[in-house]
Structure 1
Amino acid sequence: MKNKLTIFLLLTFVSISFQYLVWNCNIGDNFFNEGNWQKKITGFALHISANNKTKDLINPPSQPNIIVIMADDLGYNDVSFNGSQQIPTPNIDRIANEGVKCTNGYVSYSVCGPSRAGFLTGRYQQRFGFERNPQYDPSDPNMGLAHDESTIANNLGSVGYKTGIIGKWHLGANIKNHPLNRGFDEFFGHLGGGHQYFSNMWTIEDSYAINSESKSYRTWLMRDHKPVNPITTPKYITEEFADESVAFVERHKDSPFFLFLSYNAPHGPLQATQKYLDRFPNIKSKKRRTYAAMVSALDDGVGLLMDKLEELNLDENTLVFFLSDNGGPEDKNASDNGLLREGKSSVYEGGYHVPFAIRWKGTVKQGVYDKPVSSLDIMATAVALANAKTNPEKPLDGVNLIPYITGEKLGKPHETIYLRKFDQDRFAVRYNDYKLVVIKGEKELYNLEKDLSETTNIAKQHIDQVEKIDALRKSWNEELIDPVFKGLVHRKKRINKNGN
């Protein structure tokens, strides 16, 4: 009996080992060439060792559902999981507290449109010239996301995912850049960069009949290509988007899906219903109180979506990201970036260091991850999990985050995080714990581990670091192109290839 058990266990181990080698080591693809077999056997041993050490990656489901919830102009310090004492966000906190809170989460740009272009393509948007908030111009097919770039919806749709976007688009108002022509199966929302929150102000039926940013805030919402009569969408817009997200999940519960829940809250105009205002009687500033109410409404919407996933037994088969598209514009919407310097549009931390959390119940354990991660990583993570292909001629700038946040990979996802502001002639490069800021050729250096608020410029004391990081900046800048369309704000002068 003992011998039979030993043989059984041995055969089981050999079988599992062989399956690992087949699935993960590409047997048959030059396995025995150039010493590959030695590397792959070693990889198997390391795989066993890593899993025994971390136990964080627990049988992840194939082709999980993927949801990205993006707030608009949300301050870093305006969620409870980042320390807000004034605005409770219990539902957003569920994502962080039941998953991983990323304390050093970045986006690829510090204003809305370019940041979203980076996230949706997984590439620094300056590689394809999207470096300004696009003007609202339905007549211009080039005013928006480059047509030869693939989106996360394109890539996931190619392997059977149902893809949807709810809320703000802001990647071009021309029909060629409509979400349904950029890989999405479903769209409910608005094409421009912001919107009025109450339906009695939606007075323009045809979103293609105007070319004005201010007028775009008053269009009817769209379902796919058709305008939706405001009579049928009477709720506060944040509630409309929340209800649509729940309905999307219900419709596609039996197939893998990707949902981009793109709230326009708490972007201006500052508008809220009495229901949410009443939650903050102690906030004396009208502006701050309205902002808090808008964040609270968003949090309620996140709660409805999380509850629906649990109700349908999908929460363990769904990877959820939460983040803001950029930092809060404190002077405009009364947001709070906490210790971070400045806010939206800045090259300092308040501009693009954002609330960032990841939840995948049953697969990723609860915890805090302190190494820098980027919105560019969402695409790379999604296509890796979905087993989808990307265009090798347009390599991604992000990485699959799952092995890092589970501890399977112990290094940093990124040694460098880059930012370029073409029109202001400004750059920022985070290199490990150092950060170089270049403003019209003038260089500043900060140690973010010791000085997250960027109060003390140490460039003169660390000339070697300045030179090293500046060389990285110049090399990266050579890979980029100039903006390809005029934006809401733009300038004519070109940055030379050295960025000086």
Structure 2
Amino acid sequence: PLSEKMISEALKEQGYATSAIGKWHVGDHADLHPPRQGFDHWFGFAGGAMNYWGESNGPLRTIFRNENKVPESELSYLTDDFTNEAISFIENNKQDPFFIYLAYNAPHAPDHATKQYLEKTKHIEYGGRSVYAAMVNGVDTGVGKIDAYLKEKGLKENTILVFLSDNGGRTMHANNGPNRGHKGMLFEGGIKVPFFMVWQNHIKPNEAYDEVVSSLDIFPTLLNAAGGNVKGEKQLDGVNLLPFLDQKNEKPHETLYWRSVGGFEYAVRHQEYKLYKSAYKGKIMLFNLEKDPLERHDIAENHPEIITKLKALYTAWDSKNVAPGWVDPHPENVIKEEKNFRMIREKSLRPKN
């Protein structure tokens, strides 16, 4: 809802020009599109997925620039179009502070790729994965072009780049291994993603940070770097990561929470333990992620006291959340997927005589 303050609005207060490019998917109605949410510039589509050739299919799958539909004749391959639009926005705003939320829809379905990117993945003999990898390659190429442009214009030193995915890879073609699970699940394969930050002369290069962080930390980290007052913002669940990157004896989070569809599934990570109320498996599971980071051993039966503690933490946290304003098909899809999973496994068994 418009009552929530987005990072775009917070950065505009600091004098930043703001742009949203790519997939939006946090407000279908025109009243909730980026121009109403603190973005000076918008180039993208409102829904969750779209044809990569820019072929329009309803209001959620149409490319807009601000309030105007972009003619399909002006579009090529959306991943490349989004990259070019980002570079154009930087060019037009490079004299002043700018913020870009660049949300590539790749490698979300449908599976579309250009000959250029397919050529680079032809060594992958599984066709579906070869196309998927080509779509990822398009993102890699785009990020590289933006980085090269920032260097060329002398902007790299004073620009923070943050790269991450919104969830783990999907069931088909992706590979989240060795982590367990996939997109939609709260196993590590569904929620643990690559997360990179670059800021020359402020963040040491070529280092890995091993403590648990969240995408929720981006808002306070960037606002603090831009000179804003994080403490003045209400209900930010994340923290400013910059001090923790230097003081490596402290942890940004002792506890993190995940909730889907009003608690249909949820997970709590507290210190070394992770509780997962899994609708897929129809039970509450417990893992020690220090000893078992790949979640192979459910230790719930042996530690009822830890289950009780983590449930209480979740209940206290969830009591402050609002009820969902709508539901999505996640519950029914989970049930179908688990049923199909079990059926495939049972079919593989040798029949009894």
Give the TM-score normalised by the residue count of structure 1: 0.63
CA offsets 1:403-437 (integer angstroms, 9 cap, x no match) = 11123x63110001101123672211111121111
The answer to whether the aligner puts 1:427 opposite 2:266 as a matched pair is yes
The answer to whether the aligner puts 1:159 opposite 2:23 as a matched pair is no
The answer to whether the aligner puts 1:188 opposite 2:57 as a matched pair is no
Question: Once the 2 structures are TM-superposed, how far is the Cα of residue 476 of structure 1 from its aligned partner?
Answer: 0.8
Q: Distance in 2 between matches of 1:349 and 1:232?
A: 40
Percentage of matched positions with identical amino acids: 40
Q: Secondary structure at the match of 1:376?
A: helix
Q: Which amino acid aligns with 1:183?
A: G
Question: Once the 2 structures are TM-superposed, how far is the Cα of residue 394 of structure 1 from its aligned partner?
Answer: 2.9
Which of the residues 362, 370, 374 maps onto 2:201?
362
Q: Secondary structure at the match of 2:160?
A: strand
Structure 2 match to 1:386: 226
5 Å matches for 1:15-26?
none
CA offsets 1:199-224 (integer angstroms, 9 cap, x no match) = 4xx145x72xxxxxxxx44x2x1111
Residues 465 and 490 from structure 1, CA distance in 2 versus in 1: closer, same or farther, beyond 3 angstroms?
closer
Of structures 1 and 2, the larger Rg is shown by: 1
5 Å matches for 1:22-61?
none
Q: Distance in 2 between matches of 1:343 and 1:405?
A: 29
Which of the residues 301, 304, 315 maps onto 1:474?
315
**Partners of 1:155 and 1:390 within 8 A in 2:** no
The answer to whether the aligner puts 1:172 opposite 2:27 as a matched pair is yes
The answer to whether the aligner puts 1:299 opposite 2:299 as a matched pair is no
Q: Which amino acid aligns with 1:266?
A: P
**Partners of 1:339 and 1:452 within 8 A in 2:** no
Q: CA RMSD in A?
A: 1.9
- Gapped runs of 5+ residues in structure 2? 333-353
Residues 370 and 203 from structure 1, CA distance in 2 versus in 1: closer, same or farther, beyond 3 angstroms?
closer
The answer to whether the aligner puts 1:288 opposite 2:129 as a matched pair is yes
Q: Secondary structure at the match of 2:196?
A: strand
Q: Which amino acid aligns with 2:261?
A: F
Residues 480 and 423 from structure 1, CA distance in 2 versus in 1: closer, same or farther, beyond 3 angstroms?
closer
**Partners of 1:315 and 1:361 within 8 A in 2:** yes
Question: Once the 2 structures are TM-superposed, how far is the Cα of residue 461 of structure 1 from its aligned partner?
Answer: 2.8
**Partners of 2:261 and 2:327 within 8 A in 1:** no
Q: Distance in 2 between matches of 1:461 and 1:257?
A: 52
Q: Distance in 2 between matches of 1:286 and 1:490?
A: 30
Question: Once the 2 structures are TM-superposed, how far is the Cα of residue 392 of structure 1 from its aligned partner?
Answer: 5.1
Q: Which amino acid aligns with 1:226?
A: N
Q: Distance in 1 between matches of 2:53 and 2:97?
A: 33
**Partners of 2:266 and 2:278 within 8 A in 1:** yes
Higher relative contact order (CA closer than 8 Å, sequence separation 6+)? 1
- Is 346-355 or 389-398 further displaced after alignment? 389-398
CA offsets 1:35-74 (integer angstroms, 9 cap, x no match) = xxxxxxxxxxxxxxxxxxxxxxxxxxxxxxxxxxxxxxxx
Question: Once the 2 structures are TM-superposed, how far is the Cα of residue 244 of structure 1 from its aligned partner?
Answer: 0.8
Which of the residues 162, 166, 169 maps onto 1:321?
162
Structure 2 match to 1:259: 100
Structure 1 match to 2:176: 337
The answer to whether the aligner puts 1:231 opposite 2:73 as a matched pair is yes
Q: Distance in 2 between matches of 1:304 and 1:426?
A: 39
Residues 393 and 258 from structure 1, CA distance in 2 versus in 1: closer, same or farther, beyond 3 angstroms?
closer
**Partners of 2:287 and 2:300 within 8 A in 1:** yes
Q: Distance in 2 between matches of 1:223 and 1:265?
A: 19
How many residue pairs align between the two structures? Answer: 329
Give the TM-score normalised by the residue count of structure 2: 0.88
CA offsets 1:96-136 (integer angstroms, 9 cap, x no match) = xxxxxxxxxxxxxxxxxxxxxxxxxxxxxxxxxxxxxxxxx
Q: Secondary structure at the match of 1:456?
A: coil
Q: Distance in 2 between matches of 1:225 and 1:313?
A: 32
